[in-house]
Structure 1
Amino acid sequence: MIDEFDDALALANDPRLAPPRPAPRAEADPAWEAARATAHRAVAPLPPRRLPLDLALGHTLAAPLTALTDLPAFDTSAMDGWAVAGPGPWTLTCATGALAGAPAAGALTDGEAVPIATGARIPDGATAVLRAEHGSARAGRLTGATPQPGADVRARGQECRTGAELLPARTPLTPAALGLAAAAGYDQLAVRPRPRAEVLVLGDELLFRGLPHDGRIRDALGPMTGPWLTALGAQVLVTRRLGDDADALREALATSRADLIVTTGSTAKGPMDHLRGVLAALGAELLISGVAVRPGHPMLLAELPGGVPLVGLPGNPLAAVSGLLTLAEPLLRALADRPPVPERAAALTGPVTGHPRDTRLVPVETPDPGGARPLSYAGPAMLRGIAAASALAVIPPGGAEARQRVRLLDLPHP
């Protein structure tokens, strides 16, 4: 038996009898998650710059925000009423009292009180604040129940001490964060600026006003792509409509001042799809030539000779959204040095048909945090589903069953 096995093995290994080798296959498109990782690694964070607080909204902290002062900077009153020293009743020492923004009233000794406004500095010697509704002043005398020591006093350093870290680096600057920076003593902040983006709309078949006619269709991507990039953290410089003019495209790419260029359409290899040829003529490096995702698999990522990344979105609307969230979103996060969004999952309320080999992105509603309802009108050229969706469900190859938990990509909102 062993001899028979050895004979069979030798026969199988005889190169003269081996079946012909299949022709080498073209390199497969990268998986969806691998493409997102490639996009994130393709760029370095933009250099930091200093901006005044009124221009810093939406940018990202380039360094930790540390307090330049104690907060509060001194003991202040939390209520309107009287600053009191010791137990009552008390003698009022000042008719005008302590006002917010004014120097502290004179020091108090036991049995003395002074009127005080919310936010005013607590006089030396005061032990508490008696609220206005809890006391009664008449003929220079104040009566009321003696408050507990420290009552309604915001103590110096209650929120933080000088040098304390208030926000870590990589924090996006919201209105509240800017208010905190102002309270902590800042006039300017070191930030990673919002990446500047330029949108180039390609395709002679597009109309920019009126109803479709004579084989031409309305441009849905021009009005959508810029606002979507803004919601993803970009500063959109301009949206330009170039048609299928290869020379105009070459000039636009060579003269752009953007940190990221996003094109719509022309990612395929049809007779009027000039994008790949123009990129090759300019000497751009094609980092991603397609992604194993539906819709949107013809999307591409290239690096222009000057180092500026270009994301090519397919011309179908939902396919373009897929490209924005697959390639543009991680690129913008890397440029702004923002941390990744925490992953979120939910259980599907119904089955979703999958692609045999590729990831599929499907618009869903999320009526409750744990559930995701697939929406209709989810074809590559459709926008009805995505317009009503709150997220895209990431469906693995082969599909997903009802109640199966899948990853969600929350859709940005300006």
Structure 2
Amino acid sequence: MTDEFDDALALANGPAGAAPAAARGAGRRGVARPRHAPAEGAAHVGPAWESARATAFRSVRPLPPRRLPLDLALGHTLAAPLTALTDLPAFDTSAMDGWAVAGPGPWRLTAGEPGLLAGAPAAGRLTDGEAVPIATGARVPEGATAVLRSERGTAADRRLRGPSPQPGADIRPRGQECRSGTELLPARTTLTPAALGLAAAAGYDQLAVRPKPRAEVLVLGDELLFRGLPHDGRIRDALGPMTGPWLAALGAQVMVTRRLGDDAEALHEAMSTSRADLIVTTGSTAAGPMDHLRAVLARLGAHLLISGVAVRPGHPMLLAELPGGTPLVGLPGNPLAAVSGLLTLAEPLLRALADRPAAAERHGRLTDEVRGHPEDTRLVPVELPEPDAARPLTYAGPAMLRGIAAAAALAVIPAGGARAQDRVRLLDLPAA
């Protein structure tokens, strides 16, 4: 069968997009090679969808660590645990504006406004019955037993009056958050803005990280136009503008998107000279007269790790290992089929390169029945109108983008289909 089956399903599923409800192992040393390559023109026979994802994840080693300054580390993965280089806070600090007081009141003020400010050196020791104005974040002087909030006290004639606070009130004690040497974040954590703030607070200027994998996109096909309206049998390239941003959303650093047409020599040169950690091609994964990808891979001596996957749309996708160890993901030329390839092969492969763990599985209940392929997994665009609900969308054929452009996730439909209220796995789509 071909992806024409998916087009037929998209039409048969009706206006709601579904029929109405009715009754890290081998690394770059290699993984198991397929025993057979399909005969030219034959249907692609490949691993099951989940098995293909596992193979992609196992097919590479994490990239070597490097050190980056904090302002360049966002989105990278920690190569080692983040441990505190100091106590947090590093000294007792005031949690509020007010007065540092020693013992019960009333108190004698030892200084006037502004008193102790954040960033100022330590002040002299307080003795019982003394107080000093203090700002939020300022270092609490020795001898202080609490901080009296500004709204609770009255200062006049160098005297402070107010209710005596409980010992330790509104003081952030040294080491309250952590002690020096405490593990703050484990290795393999993706660095978020908050994580970078924590690293800075803990004393870091640089971090050891797994770098974002560098990706190169090669767009294939002489039939593609790169501006204007379709004409004379040629169509607009939808994958070039989409693939790079999608890879970036999956954690890659996209170096370049190159448009090579159906030039086998240009493809050979691009693949043999690339400095990327991952090459992604669009189109040319089948066995048509102008599909040169497999022949060029054979000419380069690449190892074909996956030649087709039992998933619709996108079953002609492939995964190869170039002689230098660089992985190549071949996406089918139909847009939704290409998205299937990105989430089936590129997403787990990028996680492995960046040493990020596999994403936690998420599930939802279908609002409508979805017809399935008799043998293969099917990926169907869905919207999520409620936290546990997944509504299949129309325009879900392999050549269509309209459905996935409105979708929040892809539902993983097992062979044979799924009924309304069945729980299915959901693959989240990039939000931006």
User: What code does the residue aligned with 1:86 have?
Assistant: G
CA positional deviation for 1:288? 0.5
Name 2:391's counterpart in structure 1. Answer: 373
Name 1:382's counterpart in structure 2. Answer: 400
Distance 1:390 1:147 in 2: 52
Distance 2:431 2:318 in 1: 25
Name 2:66's counterpart in structure 1. Answer: 49
Distance 1:186 1:27 in 2: 51
Name 1:64's counterpart in structure 2. Answer: 81
For the residue of structure 2 that corresponds to 1:190, the secondary structure is strand
Name 1:17's counterpart in structure 2. Answer: none
Distance 1:68 1:404 in 2: 50
Of 338, 355, 361, which aligns to 1:320? 338
Q: How does 1:271-350 map to 2 (within 5 A)?
A: 271-350=289-368
CA positional deviation for 1:28? 3.2
The answer as to whether partners of 2:44 and 2:315 remain within 8 angstroms in 1 is no
Matched, 1:237 2:255: yes
Name 2:49's counterpart in structure 1. Answer: 32
Structure 1's 264 and 27: CA in aligned 2 closer, same or farther, altered over 3 A?
closer
CA positional deviation for 1:26? 8.8
Name 1:20's counterpart in structure 2. Answer: none
Name 2:206's counterpart in structure 1. Answer: 188
Identity of aligned residues (%): 83
Name 2:148's counterpart in structure 1. Answer: 130
Distance 1:201 1:231 in 2: 19
- Please give the per-residue CA displacement for 1:189-239, whole angstroms capped at 9, x wherever unaligned: 000000000000000000000000000000000000000000000000000
User: What code does the residue aligned with 1:246 have?
Assistant: A
Following TM superposition, where does structure 1 have runs of at least 4 consecutive aligned residues deviating by more than 3 angstroms? Answer: 24-28
- How does the TM-score come out when normalised to structure 1? 0.93
CA positional deviation for 1:27? 8.5
For the residue of structure 2 that corresponds to 1:394, the secondary structure is strand
CA positional deviation for 1:105? 1.8
CA positional deviation for 1:185? 0.3
For the residue of structure 1 that corresponds to 2:358, the secondary structure is coil
Name 2:100's counterpart in structure 1. Answer: 83
Distance 2:43 2:339 in 1: 27
CA positional deviation for 1:411? 0.8
Distance 1:94 1:347 in 2: 66
User: What code does the residue aligned with 2:70 have?
Assistant: L
User: What code does the residue aligned with 1:62 have?
Assistant: A
Distance 1:412 1:333 in 2: 15
Distance 2:60 2:128 in 1: 66
Distance 1:90 1:65 in 2: 44
Name 2:244's counterpart in structure 1. Answer: 226
The answer as to whether partners of 2:382 and 2:407 remain within 8 angstroms in 1 is yes
For the residue of structure 2 that corresponds to 1:201, the secondary structure is strand
Distance 1:413 1:74 in 2: 41
Distance 1:67 1:398 in 2: 53
Distance 1:182 1:98 in 2: 24
The answer as to whether partners of 1:289 and 1:301 remain within 8 angstroms in 2 is yes
User: What code does the residue aligned with 1:258 have?
Assistant: A
CA positional deviation for 1:94? 1.1
Name 1:148's counterpart in structure 2. Answer: 166
Name 2:223's counterpart in structure 1. Answer: 205
CA positional deviation for 1:412? 2.1
User: What code does the residue aligned with 1:93 have?
Assistant: T
For the residue of structure 2 that corresponds to 1:51, the secondary structure is strand
The answer as to whether partners of 2:88 and 2:176 remain within 8 angstroms in 1 is yes
The answer as to whether partners of 1:201 and 1:265 remain within 8 angstroms in 2 is yes
- Please give the per-residue CA displacement for 1:251-303, whole angstroms capped at 9, x wherever unaligned: 00011010000000000000000000000000001000100000000000000
CA positional deviation for 1:104? 1.9
Name 2:33's counterpart in structure 1. Answer: none
For the residue of structure 2 that corresponds to 1:412, the secondary structure is coil
- Please give the per-residue CA displacement for 1:47-105, whole angstroms capped at 9, x wherever unaligned: 01111111111110000000000000000000000000000110000114111000122
Distance 1:61 1:322 in 2: 29
Unaligned runs of 5+ in 2: 1-38
The answer as to whether partners of 1:43 and 1:334 remain within 8 angstroms in 2 is yes
Name 1:8's counterpart in structure 2. Answer: none
CA positional deviation for 1:367? 1.7
The answer as to whether partners of 1:97 and 1:105 remain within 8 angstroms in 2 is no
The answer as to whether partners of 1:97 and 1:116 remain within 8 angstroms in 2 is yes
CA positional deviation for 1:413? 2.8
Rg larger in structure:
1
Distance 2:394 2:184 in 1: 45
User: What code does the residue aligned with 1:230 have?
Assistant: A
The answer as to whether partners of 1:35 and 1:326 remain within 8 angstroms in 2 is yes
CA RMSD of aligned residues (A): 1.2
The answer as to whether partners of 1:32 and 1:292 remain within 8 angstroms in 2 is yes
For the residue of structure 2 that corresponds to 1:57, the secondary structure is coil
- Please give the per-residue CA displacement for 1:376-399, whole angstroms capped at 9, x wherever unaligned: 000000001100111000000000
Distance 1:38 1:144 in 2: 69
Give the number of aligned pairs: 391
Distance 1:113 1:203 in 2: 78
